[in-house]
Amino acid sequence: MVEGERTSGAGHRKLAMSLSIPESVQKLQTALHAKAKESPSYRFYALYDKVYRPDVLRHAYACCKANKGAAGVDGQDFRGHREVRAGQVAGRTDARAEREDI
């Protein structure tokens, strides 16, 4: 268990702090949950556009920041993410520079 977490009676882990979920994100969660319950065999092929919504990203970032950037299931923490992003930005810059040199 991560420091700052506690377990509920059912054994579910909860963060010690509480963040309010924006209404727009709650509506999305509710709609997706309802569709999943209504049609258990339904496949959500196009969630990328929903995950990349600015309101969803802002809330996800706030949750991660409130969790002090602790690593998730993929083992990636804030520091590692910054390093990856810095490499991607540098790679794009290098690629642009190469195109301009030609």
Query: What are the pLDDT digits (tens) for 31-85?
Result: 999 999 999 999 988 888 898 999 999 998 898 888 888 888 888 888 777 777 7
Which amino acid makes up residue 79?
A: R
- What's the gap between Cα 87 and its chain centre? 20
**Interhelix angle 23-38/54-66, nearest 10 degrees:** 100
For the chain, what is the radius of gyration of the CA atoms?
19
Two tokens at 31?
């709609």
CB atoms within 10 A of CB 35: 11
Q: Does the reported pTM lie above 0.75?
A: no
